Structure 1
Amino acid sequence: MADARSSARSGIAEDVERLADHLERVNFGAYADLLQRPWRLAWLNWVGGVFRGLGIGIGFTIVAGVALMILDALTMLNLPVVGKYIAELVRIVQAELHQPTY
């Protein structure tokens, strides 16, 4: 009877130890701290959103620039059907770039 109790206790102790290890790995303490300080959570979310927005803006600018360079190179190939549409698109974009802003 005593052996069954001690083995049950050791099994529970092992379970508690595994649970503690898991909570430590997922950084549950920092998450609980954020939940207790909502202004810090709001601040971190705001800063993350600002940097995410900057990354999207810069990334889109780079992708659009590369796409326009490729389209410009395709116009130099004088493809009969596609070249006319690409040339018109490049002309529109360049006209917008050289238009004064107010």
Structure 2
Amino acid sequence: MFCSLSRRINELSLTLEKLRLSEYLKHLNNIKRVIWINFLGGLARGFGVAVGFTLLGALAIYLLRQAFLDNLPVIGNIIADIVKIANEKLQLR
């Protein structure tokens, strides 16, 4: 019984050392450091979101522009057909 208890305590102490719980608690006790780390993390996340949104937006605009330029004659023909139909309807009145 004592051997298994001693072995279990040793396993728990090794697990706690692996978790580096003492370092984490020291980190949490230093409020200025916690605020500074969270501030820097927020800046990094905000910068990442801004850069990512810019790149995705630029890619979307580029792809839409290419799709629009490729289909411009088709769109022009459709608009011409609509104008022609509208003129015919106006002349019937």
User: Same-fold call, TM > 0.5?
Assistant: yes
1:25-44 matches, within 5 Å, as 25-44=18-37
Report the 3-state secondary structure (helix = DSSP H, G, I; strand = E; otherwise coil) of the residue aligned with 1:49. helix
- Which stretches of structure 1, 4 residues or more, deviate above 4 A after TM superposition? none
Aligned length: 75
| 37-46 vs 11-20, greater mean Cα deviation | 11-20
TM-score w.r.t. the length of structure 1 is 0.63
Quick one: higher RCO (CA 8 Å, sep 6+), 1 or 2? 1
Which residue identity is paired with 1:73? Q
For structure 2, the residue ranges without an aligned partner over 5 or more in a row are: 76-93
Whole-angstrom distance in 1 between the partners of 2:32 and 2:3: 42
Whole-angstrom distance in 1 between the partners of 2:5 and 2:31: 35
Which residue identity is paired with 1:48? G
Question: Does residue 62 of structure 1 match 2:48?
Answer: no
1:43-82 matches, within 5 Å, as 43-78=36-71
**Residues 79, 16 of structure 1: alpha-carbon distance in 2 compared, 3 angstrom cutoff:** farther
Counterpart of 1:14 in structure 2 is 7
> Where is the helix percentage greater, Structure 1 or Structure 2?
2
TM-aligned CA deviation for residue 27 of structure 1: 2.2
Report the 3-state secondary structure (helix = DSSP H, G, I; strand = E; otherwise coil) of the residue aligned with 1:15. helix
- Structure of larger gyration radius: 2
Which residue identity is paired with 1:44? I
For structure 1, the residue ranges without an aligned partner over 5 or more in a row are: 1-7, 85-102
TM-score w.r.t. the length of structure 2 is 0.69
Across the aligned residues of Structure 1 and Structure 2, the Cα RMSD in angstroms comes to 2.1
- The sequence identity of aligned pairs, in percent, is 28
TM-aligned CA deviation for residue 79 of structure 1: 6.8
